[in-house]
Structure 1
Amino acid sequence: MARFKSINDIINQVAIEVGIPKQADIFASTDPASEQLIYLSNSAGYELLQSEAWEGLVREYDITTQSTDTGKYPLPDDFAYMINQTGWDRSNNVPMLGPLSAQEWQYLEGRDLVSHTIYASFREVENEFWLFPQPPPDGLDIHFEYISRNWVQPKGVVGTFDDKVTDPSDIELYEPILFERLLKVRFLEARGFDTTAATTQLERAFGSWAAKDKGAAVLNAGAGRRGFPYLNGFRNTPDTGYGG
């Protein structure tokens, strides 16, 4: 059995559970309940997107700065939100500072600290990724991870993703049982039915699969495993020449 299921199979599973007929092709059906399940599926996809940083939706963004850059870069078309503390300046082997607040950004601009700034810093403004200093130095190798809003993969199309289901063979990239549980609750709600039992099932599925989606960290009663704060002589500063 495949790890993921087509949206046609998922909707039919929910349809049987709530007592409505299954369809050979959910998108070709004229049944109002089937049409409603399609719309609710797209809503459920966005809802799960916001609830957890699912590993299947993690993407990496990278920039290599050029001397002609303004320091303002468009975010990826599928950008939903950045994963905290994944921003790194790999050219200098240090984490980036940010996201900066408006007050912090204006402080840096107002103090003219370009010649004294140790780290590249960033903020998200106007659907863009802004680097400080502006313009940035040439050759910074900037990376961060983000969650993609594209939670759908057309079957058989490698490397192509979308943000809604449009075909019965489309694959949703969440754990199927979790998606089915959420879709069932939203359908029952929309129809005015009792959702108590279905909500309990959803909560159990979410708690289980959110925990299983990524490996758990090793618990440590001492210092953090990554050695934060960011300046650490064993991890992210050179052996010689720092501050010279």
Structure 2
Amino acid sequence: MPGWDTAGNILNDAAVELGLRTSDLADPYASQDQAIALLCRLLKGLGQDMVRDYQWTHLQGSYTFTLVPGDESYPLPGGFVRPIDQTQWNLTQRMPMLGPLSPQGWQLLQALTSAGVVDIYFRTVGDRFVVYPTPQSADAVSFEYVTSYWVQPIGQTLPTLDAPAAATDTLWFDRRLLVLGLKWAWLEAKSLPQAAAAENAYRLALTRAQGGDGAAPVLSLNNRPFAANRMLDCANVPETGFGVP
């Protein structure tokens, strides 16, 4: 994927730019240099923080499973960080699932034992996906989620790890963003005055990467064809003085 590189190349770039090395190491993870060892640990933390700080489109997955009659609790997929709202569907019934429920809402449903429920409600508790009412049929359920896996080991086609462990691991983030973030993390760990400038460079690259991540729909403030809702048009905007308090 364009912009992605191996952990070894990213570590070497950061080490040389920081002045820790004058040439690349064949395998930074085999180095006995304390500075390189610190860079390896900082790279792990940097990537894990980036996963949780933003909903990256390339780190989203889809999970489909079948409900088992009599069983209300199901394991979440490996690498699950958080669900993506409003993607939970009962595919068999072609109906959206309702939730996630708060603890208060869940207890309310538990108390309404005589109430008939047509929809399926859900909540996540720990590493479990829990549904209400208890399933009576083997319906197919699907939802999308954010994964913690951002490291693709050699020989794999997708990320399967949440921390790099080898120089050949491919990291699913923009390579320049990781180099800048790694330099900032190292300077910050050493309490060096250059950390402030390094942070600014990283934040700028992060904003640029987030702004270019995925696509967004065009939002219109005018009436759209075939849409019932009217927003701004000649019927609700005055001819003069628009925007004047």
TM-score by length of 2: 0.84
Alpha-carbon distance in 1 for matches of 2:111, 2:43: 48
Percentage of identical aligned residues: 31
CA offset digits 1:81-129 (Å, max 9, x no partner): 11122111122222211110011011111112662x2321111113210
1:66 is displaced (CA, Å) by 2.4
Residues 9 and 111 (structure 1), Cα distance of their counterparts in 2 relative to 1, 3 Å cut: same
Q: Distance in 1 between matches of 2:114 and 2:14?
A: 58
How far did 1:197 drift?
A: 1.4
Per-residue deviation, 1:26: 0.4
Give the TM-score normalised by the residue count of structure 1: 0.84
How far apart are residue 131 of structure 1 and its match?
0.5
Cα displacement (A) at 1:188: 0.7
What CA deviation, in whole Å up to 9, does each residue of 1:129-187 have, x standing for no partner? 00111x21313221111111111001232246111111110011111112222111111
Note the alpha carbon deviations across 1:178-225, whole angstroms, 9 max, x for none: 22221111111011112121111111111111121110222133699x
Deviating more after overlay: 39-48 vs 72-81: 72-81
The aligned residue for residue 72 of structure 2 is: 71
Residue 40 of structure 1 corresponds to 42
Unpaired stretches in structure 1, ≥5 consecutive residues: 228-244
**Maintained 8 Å contact 2:152/2:159:** yes
Kept in 1, the 8 Å contact 2:150–2:159? The answer is: no
User: How far apart are the structure 2 equivalents of 1:143 and 1:78?
Assistant: 16
Residues of 2 paired with 1:24 and 1:223: CA distance? 60
Q: Which has the larger radius of gyration?
A: 2
Query: 2:164 aligns to what SS in structure 1?
Result: coil
How many angstroms apart in 2 are the aligned matches of 1:223 and 1:112?
45
Q: Say if 1:56 and 1:174, in contact at 8 Å, map to a contact too.
A: no
Alignment partners' CA distance in 2, 1:113 and 1:213: 47
What's the C-alpha RMSD, in Å, of the aligned pairs?
2.0
One-letter amino acid of the structure 1 residue matched with residue 85 of structure 2? N
SS of the residue aligned with 1:27?
A: helix
